[in-house]
Amino acid sequence: MGVIRLALAMAVLLGHLPIASLTFIGAGLAVQCFFIISGFYMSLVLAGKYKDIKLFYTNRLLRLMPTYYVVMALAALCLFGMNASATASPEIFSDLMNNPVSAIVIAFENIAVLGQDLLFWFTLDGKGDLLFNSSGAVPAPPQTVVAWQTLLVPQSWSLSMELMFYGIAPLLARLSWRALAFLGVASVSLRLAGHALPVDYGLWQARLFPTALFLFVLGMLSQRALTFAAKFPKSLGWVFCAVLLAAIVALPGLALPAELGRFIMYGLVAASIPFSFNAFKNIAIDRWIGDLSYPLYLTHLLVIGLVLKFNPPRAVAVAIGGSLALSIVLLFVVDRRVDRWRQRRVVATAHSS
């Protein structure tokens, strides 16, 4: 499981690195695969150690936000101190300050995260006004600034989706598999309805929580297959893991229609998770590798911005190596320390109940 998570994070990195010749599955598809894995793990912990819902909510915030704030501070330092960013410029923020309301909205989004996904539906004009664009602002016409470019950590839009899922996850965990399946079908139907609507389908299917909800639900349904998967040899989990890794690397080479390729990946991830989890859950090095995926996801655009700014020799290797190095530092300096606190809170709650 850890190797799968790191491979998906690497797919996001390569998808955002314009000078890389090697690519895995697209960055957007990799993020959506993460949603399935998130649904699996949230269903797992809600069925186990998190009986206190308040503890679940606060521990999820502690899991996401400390590392995010550290990376946001580093990104602000690079942007305003060195004009090094893969997505923004100081001029964008200067224009933003022309409209105090827009500035407050963007400041809130950078700090609170919730709602960042909706910024993909807006553009920013020279007066600092946020303008809704239902026909899609990605890719933007030349000279057009899309509102998400005012995010210091723009890939954190997916954290907004995660937070919305966490909000309803305890309720979803109580539903029967049939009710979950019905909810998933409704979400898929709403997603596909975007083909008939005057909206950009790429945004509709990727930057709208109701149309992405089925991915989290798919992960929750996958968790309920753990008992079934446990009946099989662990070697089958290794096979599933190998097949999924091969798909992450090789799927683009098959030149499948975009929608078909996406749903093949969704199905493959959901089918693989319970078997891979049973095979790798007690392997410490796999967990360590998987723990790198979150800081790598958050840091890679920061490092890419520096690489594009200073253009060092072997730029691709520097971007990948630098992202991994910074991720390891954050893992030990921030993530691990906060995680020990989170686990102590779980133990303390269990003892007091």
pLDDT of residue 258: 85
Counting other chains too, the contacts that 108-115 makes at CB distance below 8 Å and 24 or more residues apart are 109/150, 109/151, 110/72, 110/150, 110/151, 110/152, 110/153, 113/64, 113/65, 113/68, 113/156, 113/159, 113/160, 113/163, 114/160, 114/163, 114/164, 115/160
Q: What are 73's two structure tokens?
A: 């501070």
Average pLDDT, the chain: 92
**What does the pLDDT look like over 84-143, one tens digit per residue?**
999 999 999 999 999 999 999 999 999 999 999 999 999 988 888 998 887 655 445 556
Distance, CA of 191 to CA of 188 (rounded, Å):
5
**What does the pLDDT look like over 199-246, one tens digit per residue?**
889 899 999 999 999 999 999 999 999 999 999 999 999 999 999 999
Domain boundaries, the chain: 2-79+155-345, 89-151
pTM of the predicted structure, to 2 decimals? 0.94
pLDDT of residue 49: 73
Distance, CA of 319 to CA of 265 (rounded, Å):
27
